[in-house]
Amino acid sequence: MKSSKVARRIAIAATALAAMAGIAFASSEGSGVTADQALQKLMDGNARYVESKMTTGTLCDASARGKLAKSQHPYAIILSCSDSRVPPELIFDQSLGEVFVVRVAGNVADPLVLGSVEYAAEHLGSPLIMVLGHERCGAVTATVAGGKPEGNIGAIVKEIAPAAKKAKAQCKGKAKEEIIECASEINAKAVAAQLPKRSKLLAKEVKEGKIKIVAAKYDLDDGKVTLLK
Which CATH code is given to the segment(s) 31-228? 3.40.1050.10
Q: Enumerate the domain spans of the chain.
A: 31-228
pLDDT digits (tens, 9 = 90+) for 205-216: 999 999 999 999
Alpha carbon of 224 to those of 21, 160, 218: distances in Å?
40, 23, 6
Q: Mean pLDDT throughout 151-168?
A: 96
On average, the pLDDT of the chain sits at 87
pLDDT digits (tens, 9 = 90+) for 116-135: 999 999 999 999 999 999 99
**Confidence at 226, pLDDT banded by 50, 70, 90:** very high
Rounded CA gap, 34 and 111, in Å?
27
Rounded CA gap, 56 and 44, in Å?
13
Q: Which of 199, 174, 192 is nearest to 228 (CA)?
A: 192
Rounded CA gap, 163 and 181, in Å?
11
Q: Mean pLDDT throughout 65-92?
A: 91
Give the H or E element holding residue 131. strand 128-134
Q: Which of 128, 219, 179 is nearest to 160 (CA)?
A: 179
In the chain, % of residues over pLDDT 70: 85
